[in-house]
Amino acid sequence: MTTVRRVLAISPHLDDAALSAGATLADFAAQGADVEVVTLFAGTPREPLSAIARAFHAACGLPDSSAVSLRVAEDCAAIDELGARPHHGTFLDAVYRRAPDGGWLCHHDRAMFDDQPLDQDDLLIEISHQVRHLVTILNPDLVLTCAAVGGHIDHRLTRAAVLNSVTGSSLPILLWEDLPYAVGRPPSAVLPLPLTAPPTAWERKWRAIACYPSQVRMLWPTEIDGVTQLLAHAKIRGGGRPAELLSRPAHRPLAVWRSPQSSTARPPPLGAAGVGPRAHWGGRLPPPTTCLLPGRNLADQGSSAACLGEQGR
């Protein structure tokens, strides 16, 4: 059994971690783990912007001149709600990037979801290098990232970079089901782990999502309420109890963990290491937890983060 003291969540965009794994991350934090959320594609673009980027900003209700900085501020508030620490990379979102031929990478609406080869080898190498650096500095016990459900190119790059970066190590990895892309779809991830969490963790997730007004406006522009939709989806995934669906890559080991009941260790401030802009301890005194037995059905348990059995082998 391995104690989880440090969780590293690697998110493509400024909302993905909270939307997809917010309850799980909040549960880890509430139990005393240090939870770091790194958003890779949070770089600020230079003018000119593409028509697609401007349309995206308009859908979010964001001004072109400060869209990313406003989204970063939203993310800081959201991740703080989860009891975690936010950090922001400088890679440009796909809507701001150019293709090797100099044209816009996303030259039409939803081009980022095209089922195309990544064709971003240099970028993938650079991101992989950055992720390796993060893992070295933070020394996490567990890494979470996206499964890239929905096929967004930045999500695929993130997943590939994380898997590239830990090749040959035994570091446990979990992939989260990307939301809201997975809503209405059957579970597509192999070896699914439906992780339940206490109601307080879900409340934190909903409060965190509310910290992203620009993304809520863009993702749910009509009368559909995002929290209602996500809660209904979570209940489907959990068989009646809300759950977030995660999976482990088929070739990765999954250790058994629990939160640090007696740990007083704290990682060094990330800001000082040049990794992120914020460094504060957002955790609380860990409550008593009960370690789940390996092989139990996690959806039937009261807590996700306390301990995971070696599910789904």
Question: Interface with Zn ion by CB under 5 A: which residues?
Answer: 12-13, 16
Identify which of residues 12 and 32 has a Cβ nearer to Zn ion in the complex. 12
Identify which of residues 16 and 36 has a Cβ nearer to Zn ion in the complex. 16
- Give min distance, CB of 60 to Zn ion, in A: 13
- Give min distance, CB of 14 to Zn ion, in A: 8
CA 176, 158, 195: angle at the middle one, nearest 5? 10
- Give min distance, CB of 303 to Zn ion, in A: 27
Q: Which residue minimizes CB distance to Zn ion?
A: 13
Identify which of residues 13 and 204 has a Cβ nearer to Zn ion in the complex. 13
The rounded distance, in Å, linking the Cα atoms of 233 and 247 is 17
Evaluate whether 236 touches 185 at the Cβ level (below 8 Å).
no
Identify which of residues 55 and 293 has a Cβ nearer to Zn ion in the complex. 55
Identify which of residues 114 and 300 has a Cβ nearer to Zn ion in the complex. 114
Instruction: List 38's β-bridge partners, or say none.
Output: 10, 87
- Give min distance, CB of 56 to Zn ion, in A: 12
DSSP one-letter string for 48-90: PPPHHHHHHHHHHT--GGGHHHHHHHHHHHHHHHTT-EEEE--
The token pair that represents 131 in the structure block: 């992720």
Query: What are the distances in angstroms from CA 166 to CA 9, 81, 126, 129, 163?
Result: 14, 29, 14, 11, 6
Sign of CA dihedral 197, 203, 204, 209: positive
The rounded distance, in Å, linking the Cα atoms of 38 and 166 is 16
- Give min distance, CB of 93 to Zn ion, in A: 9
- Give min distance, CB of 298 to Zn ion, in A: 25
Identify which of residues 43 and 286 has a Cβ nearer to Zn ion in the complex. 43
Identify which of residues 146 and 173 has a Cβ nearer to Zn ion in the complex. 146
- Give min distance, CB of 150 to Zn ion, in A: 8
- Give min distance, CB of 6 to Zn ion, in A: 24
Query: What are the distances in angstroms from CA 140 to CA 130, 137, 174?
Result: 15, 9, 13
Q: Are strands 85-88 and 142-146 parallel, antiparallel or unpaired?
A: unpaired
* Helix/strand/coil for 179: coil
The rounded distance, in Å, linking the Cα atoms of 98 and 84 is 33
Evaluate whether 155 touches 238 at the Cβ level (below 8 Å).
no
Identify which of residues 16 and 141 has a Cβ nearer to Zn ion in the complex. 16
